[in-house]
Every structure is written in structure tokens, then in C-alpha cells.
Structure 1
Amino acid sequence: MTTTIETNNTNTNEPAFPMPRDGKCPFDPPPAGQAAQKEAPLTRVTMWDGSRPWFVTRYAEQRALLSDPRISADISNPGYPSPAPRPKGSGSPLSFILMDDPEHARLRRMVTAPFMVKRIEAMRPGVQKIIDDLLDEMLAGPKPADLVQAFALPMPSLVICQLLGVPYSDHDFFQKNSNVIIKRGVSPEDQGTAMGALIGYLHQLLTLKLEQPGDDIFTDLARRVDAGDITAADAAQMGVLLLIAGHETTANMIALGTLALLENPEQLARLRDSQDPALITSAVEELLRYLTITHDGRKRIATADIDIAGQTIKAGDGVIIATDLGNRDPEAFEDPDTLDLERDARHHVAFGFGVHQCLGQPLARMELQLAYTTLLRRIPTMALATTLDQVPFKNDASVYGVYELPVTW
């Protein structure tokens, strides 16, 4: 069941949030957001419930606020700009990303080690084999092929399942429920049901890992639960976060990034024909900046008054930090609406900034570097098998991407 959320926007000069994209420019942030950025670094938007959080549009102010301890990520704070109604007593359904220190730091530290760069780099050969096997299968099958189902979705799903110790045979179950959780307009009851299904599944997995341990994150969490370092509920919620973030975001980046390259053939050819590790690295950073698939912003709430950019954010005010706009700020990136794979875009905010920046970014970077380069090398004649206006974009989800990407070669 889905529910239509009506926006009670009595402030006619303020855009409603979330903002619709322009179908003619599907890679660009919403026009209303771009207009707001030109107007001021901070403005107001109107939410579904009539609340009016601050909307932060420019790069410098975004980094300042994301690193400010007076800005809270705790979803339980009154005034937090929730994107939709929440069931009463739902707490923090996505673990430490919606908490503040010290609890945020305590829980995050429990799963930091597997995502350290050295550990991730050691996974490259295994991830490369997953990519090659999937492409072997796709190339042996019919044309055109849906790149999402054949490659973009199963690749990071296989990787995160191995890292977490989750059976990949259950991927249909967790993908179905994760899609409900991240989709806009879904009722709180349906989202709660999907979250409950995933948490129940991971509760059972924690018990199984004590009986059948492995070299994976969930075995370590199960041992921590057994030792009393963390509750089973917190461990299961952490597992939901890692499972969803570990496959949804990377899968959407693979598909959407491939489409962006197909629509920019000179840039595609530059990456396809290069063996330069520096260009491969910069290409991934630029695609992350250019696309910024977490396109609903970073939600926060002020715990004290903050003076910034000529405005005062009062204690209790909601704040939405629009990182998709920050990554298109001309003060931070020259000619920001152009995809330039040789740009030094390492300072982008696609992974956030400050203490809450994405834990899994080393894994995402490694997967994307291998995915794009292998895909273009193995299928040098790849082309879109439809027109751009026929591609179904995920305008109804909090993680942007495409539902299907028909390609041929």
C-alpha cells in the first residue's frame, strides 16, 4: 500500500520538499533547488506536514554545518525534518546514522575495521571475479539486456552479502523489503512491516552465526551480542543499515553512472581507452559528484542557535543539507554542470562530511572503479537500447537511479 502525502504549503514563495526533477535533464538537481542555490546559501522549504526547515544549498555552508556539533542527526529530536510520517515509537530504524555521539561513535566503531582501505583493497581480486562472471553471463545471453538486473544490482549485492555473511540466496527477500523502505510515498505501516521483516531475518541470522561462525561482519556482531557489548536489536538494525547501504547505493551508481557515460560519449571513450589509475580514480569521484544519488539531502536538527551566512538557525529548527546542490556549486566546482572525468572532484560531499560521512565509501569506490572500467573494456560497443526519455528514473525513491537500463552491443 502507498499513501499520497499532501504538502500544506501556505508559503507560496517557498518550494515544497522533496522537489521534482526536470525529465529533460535527469542528471541535474531539481530546477527549484538550483534556483534556490542562486538566490541564497540558506532558504526555507515546506514539508509534507507544513513544517519549514532550513534548506542549505551551497557547498561551504554545507561542510560547515555537517561538521558542527550543534547539528544533530538524531531522528528522535522534536522538529527533525522527517520526509514522511513515522510510526510512533519507531526510534532510530537505521542504526547509528540517525544517532549522535557518543552512541553513534560507539556503534560505528564496531563495524569500522572491515571497511578500512587496506581490508577493502585486499578484496579487489574477489570483486573482479564477481564482475567478470556476471558479464560473462550477460554477454552469453540475449540482447538487449537490462544492465540493472544483469549486472548493476547483483554485483554489489554479492559483495555485501559476502562481507556481512548474509546468504545471497535470500537476495530477493532483502531487495524487495529494502525497496519499500527507501521508496517515497510508502505508508508508515508498510515501511514498518518491511523494516520488521528485515530485522526479524537478521535476528535469526545472529543466532545462526553463533552456531555456525564465519569470517564476516555478522559473526563478529553475534559475538558482541553474546558478550553483552551490544543488544540484538541494535545489531539487527545495524545489519539493516549495512545491507541496504551496501547494495542499493552502489547498484544505482553503477547503472546511473553508466547511463551518464553513454550520454557523454567523449568522456566514455576517455575512460574506456585509458589504463591510467589516476584517471580511473578521478572518473569515479567525478561521477559521484555529478550524480549525487542520495538526492533527498542530509536531514539534521539544530540543538543550539547557529549564525551562518547572515541567518540564524534557531535551536530546534530542522535543517536539510542538499548535497546534490553542494556538488553543483560553482564556487566549489568550476563549470559544475559538465561531466569532466579529469576534474579533481575529491572534495565532493556525495558521501557526506564530518562524523557521519559514509562508512562504506572505500568499498563503494573500489567497486565502482572495477565496475566501470571492466564494463567498458569488455563491452566497448555498448549502447543504450532505448531513448533517454524512455528510461525509468527513480524519482519516487530516496536513492536516485534507474529501474531499468536496456543496453545492447
Structure 2
Amino acid sequence: MTQTEPKPVPMTRRCPLAPPDEYAQLREEAPVSEVALPDGNTGWLVTRFDDVTTVLVHPDVSAQRKFQTSVTSVTLSPEEYLASGFGVSFIGMDPPEHTHYRKLMTGMFTVKRLRALVPRIEKIVDDQLDVLVDGGSPADLIPEFAQPVPSLVICELLGMPYEDSKLYQERTHVIMSLERTKEALLDAMTGMSDDMRELVREKRAHPDGKLISSLIEAVPDDGVPLTDDELVAIGNLMMIAGYETTANMIGLGALTLLHFRDQWETLCRQPELAERAVEEILRYLTVGPFCLPRTAKTDIELGGRHIRAGDPILLSTESANWDPAQFERPEVFDITRKPKRHVGFAYGAHQCLGQELARIEMRIAFSKLARRLPQLRLAVPLEQVPMRTDMQIYGAHEVPVAW
């Protein structure tokens, strides 16, 4: 591929369930290529699995970034962002600051804590299936199932009142939209931060053993308890990352299973395949179309290209997860596929903290959906399903179903 000038990140999908076609050619001919960013910067787009994982653990690559990856006319100044109360997210930090928070947060996602959540997650899924069935056919799987399940789970995890889940869904929708106004964005961010701060105050006065209370009581390595600002930033991150990504992966996963009817029928016959099905969904699909942003700290060589200190780097996990050098026939959606390491949750020090929780939610959601409604089918052709091309997190706005 001869590239005379940097082009934007590929975004146009011939099939809504597959990555843009350009990625296959980039992997073959220009795996590390110059890319034009929406803010006028030029960076590097990395598309092969091995190169993506190399960058994710490279000591000379930073998780910090001062460039824009998503296509939106609304940007916030550093002052506006801080004024929103969102604070500094540790996913954009490097060691030792990142290690400080990461170590603390890892203790919040222990096997014991996650296992204790399983009965509650099962009850949430069963209850939402009741709502779905009671509402009758046809229905929209997104508001009746895909959104409320992770929303209620994250409320359970944080110790947040369930009645607040709808408001948080609405605010995260505004925050993730590419078409919101600055006023709407700041209002949503400020409102979420104010409510999270009130939750922190409530947990300081009345601890309940849930995640926010546990973080309040935790003693970091430096012996200094987390401040309210730090707790608010972590709580907001958990809400957005724990809700938005999982909700859209459940919706997108259901859409894919129902589109590839043989795979849905296989899951219905063999619900014990739910674990493999989840791994295949995480490999085959992506909810992060704008790539993982990184910045070179020093000059480095990658894929035969010289990357200079300060250069933006964009890691396409959706391209990496379709790399035939890593996965046999990656374009085939096969829930019986033997799981192999993918980058659906990234890799290395910044690998998603909540990945096991997301897996548990998806496993329970899909296995119970298959048992309860084996006759479930798409109510419209795939090409008529409205996709979230106007959002920072990809997925489906609606998944019309019938049974």
C-alpha cells in the first residue's frame, strides 16, 4: 500500500459486525502507518496483533496523551475538564502513579469479591428477562436487557441506589455522544461528578462494604487515604467503563449471535459453550473504534518505521483481533473456537481491571438468554439495525427482536 499522505483511522464498515475493510490491507502492506488525527496532529496507526501487544508493554511508550482521537467538534480545555469534577483518570497515567492506583484497585476485583456478586448478577439477569418477556414480542433488546443488566451490576458493585441507574445511563450516553454540545457535555459530567461526590460522602458516613466503601477504608502503600476527588474520579471511571462497554458488548454480541443463526442455535443446544462464546464475541467484535491512544516517550522503531519521541500512537485492537497471523480464519464467527489470547481488554499493565466482571456478566447474560428464549430472532434484517456510528463507544442503538 503506497500512502502518499496520512489518512484518518478507518471507520466505514461494509458489514456492521466487521472491522473496516482497510485494516486487512494495512496489516498486509503498512502495519505501522501514518494517520491523520481529528485535531490536526499526525500519528501512527498500529494494526498487527504482535505490534499492538509490543506497544502495550513497551517501556518507552506512555499511556498519557495530548491529542484527540474521536471525531467531534466539542473539546474541553484542561481547565473545563477539571472543573467538571471528573479528575484525572489513572488509565491515562504511567508508573509509578498508575501502579499506585492499579495496585489498590486490583484488590477490589478479587476472585472472592466477584464470586460473591454472581448470585446477584444472576438475579438481575433473570429479572430483566422477566421484564423482556412480560413486555411481549417484538421488543428492543437494548433498553430491556443489554443496558439495564450492567447498569444494575455496577450499582451493586459501587453500593449505589438502583433507582439512580437510569440517570447515570442518560448521562453516560451524553458523555459518549459525538454530537453533543459543550453545554450538554459539561452538564452531564458535572451532574455525574456531583452525584458521585454525594455517594462518597454517604459511604464515609455509612460504610456498606461495597467498592466505594472499601476504597475509602483502604490504605495505599504511601499510607495516605484516597481523597474525595480521587474517589469521585475512580467512581466515574467505573460507571462509564463498567457500564458503557459491557452494555454495548452484550447488545452487539446478541446481534451477532442472532445474525449468525447457526451459532445461536449451537449456544441454545449447548449453553455450556457460553464461556467460549464470550471469548469469541470479545475477539470478533469491538466497542472501541477509535483505537487505544499512546504516546512515544523516546524515539522507537516499530514495524520498520521510526517513531519519534512525542508522536501519537493509535493501537487498533479490532484489527489486531482479526489478524490471521494470530487467529485462524479470523473473519469467521465461531463460538466453538478454542480461546486464544486476544486484546479485547487490552494487554499489559493497563489491561482492563474489570475484565473478569465483564466476562461473568456476559456469560450469565448469554447463557440465560439462550435457555429462556431459544426461539429469539432478529425482527429486522441486519442492515436495518441502527448502529452507534455517532458514539465514542460502538454498538447498536437498537436490537429489534421477536420470539
Relative to the length of structure 2, the TM-score reads 0.92
Change (3 A) 1:188 1:313: farther
Change (3 A) 1:25 1:58: same
Whichever residue aligns with residue 94 of structure 2, its letter is D
Q: Does 1:147 find its partner at 2:141?
A: yes
Q: Does 1:45 find its partner at 2:29?
A: no
Are 1:87 and 1:188, in contact at CA under 8 Å, matched by a contact in 2? no
Whichever residue aligns with residue 16 of structure 1, its letter is P
Shift of 1:329: 0.6
- Root-mean-square deviation (CA), in Å? 2.1
Residue number in structure 2 paired with 1:21: 12
Secondary structure (helix, strand or coil) at the match of 1:45 reads: strand
Shift of 1:228: 4.5
Residue number in structure 2 paired with 1:321: 315
1-structure distance, mates of 2:39, 2:287: 25
Q: Does 1:400 find its partner at 2:394?
A: yes
1-structure distance, mates of 2:107, 2:386: 37
Change (3 A) 1:309 1:20: closer
Whichever residue aligns with residue 238 of structure 1, its letter is I
2-structure distance, mates of 1:303, 1:172: 41
Secondary structure (helix, strand or coil) at the match of 1:54 reads: strand
Q: Which aligned pairs between 1:346-385 and structure 2 lie closer than 5 A?
A: 346-385=340-379
Q: Which aligned pairs between 1:9-158 and structure 2 lie closer than 5 A?
A: 13-17=5-9, 19-22=10-13, 24-75=14-65, 78=66, 80-83=67-70, 85-89=75-79, 90=81, 93=87, 95-158=89-152
Q: Does 1:296 find its partner at 2:290?
A: yes
Secondary structure (helix, strand or coil) at the match of 1:29 reads: coil
Whichever residue aligns with residue 253 of structure 1, its letter is M
Residue number in structure 2 paired with 1:254: 250
Secondary structure (helix, strand or coil) at the match of 1:122 reads: helix
Are 1:81 and 1:319, in contact at CA under 8 Å, matched by a contact in 2? no
Name whichever of 123-132 and 27-36 sits farther off.
27-36
Are 1:128 and 1:370, in contact at CA under 8 Å, matched by a contact in 2? yes
Residue number in structure 2 paired with 1:7: none
2-structure distance, mates of 1:69, 1:133: 46
Change (3 A) 1:163 1:328: same
Name whichever of 182-191 and 110-119 sits farther off.
182-191
Name whichever of 385-394 and 188-197 sits farther off.
188-197
Whichever residue aligns with residue 12 of structure 2, its letter is R
Shift of 1:106: 1.1
Change (3 A) 1:54 1:218: same
2-structure distance, mates of 1:69, 1:183: 33
Are 2:177 and 2:390, in contact at CA under 8 Å, matched by a contact in 1? yes
Secondary structure (helix, strand or coil) at the match of 2:105 reads: coil
Whichever residue aligns with residue 248 of structure 1, its letter is E
Q: Deviations over 1:171-220 (max 9, x none)?
A: 22211111122222434554333222211111111111122221211112
Residue number in structure 1 paired with 2:194: 200
Secondary structure (helix, strand or coil) at the match of 2:371 reads: helix
Residue number in structure 2 paired with 1:4: none
Change (3 A) 1:187 1:39: farther
Q: Deviations over 1:342-374 (max 9, x none)?
A: 222330001001100100000001111111111
Unaligned runs of 5+ in 1: 1-10
Are 1:53 and 1:81, in contact at CA under 8 Å, matched by a contact in 2? no
Are 2:295 and 2:313, in contact at CA under 8 Å, matched by a contact in 1? yes
2-structure distance, mates of 1:397, 1:97: 20
1-structure distance, mates of 2:174, 2:318: 23
Shift of 1:93: 4.7
2-structure distance, mates of 1:104, 1:21: 34
Name whichever of 360-369 and 111-120 sits farther off.
111-120
Whichever residue aligns with residue 70 of structure 1, its letter is D
Q: Deviations over 1:214-248 (max 9, x none)?
A: 121111233459x8522211110110000111111
1-structure distance, mates of 2:95, 2:170: 32
Change (3 A) 1:314 1:188: farther
Secondary structure (helix, strand or coil) at the match of 2:328 reads: coil
Secondary structure (helix, strand or coil) at the match of 1:256 reads: helix
Shift of 1:275: 4.4
1-structure distance, mates of 2:167, 2:341: 36
Shift of 1:377: 1.0
Whichever residue aligns with residue 26 of structure 1, its letter is P
Q: Does 1:266 find its partner at 2:256?
A: no
Shift of 1:382: 0.3
Q: Deviations over 1:9-61 (max 9, x none)?
A: xx8643223x3322x40011123333322322100111112211100010000
Unaligned runs of 5+ in 2: none
Secondary structure (helix, strand or coil) at the match of 1:300 reads: strand
Relative to the length of structure 1, the TM-score reads 0.90
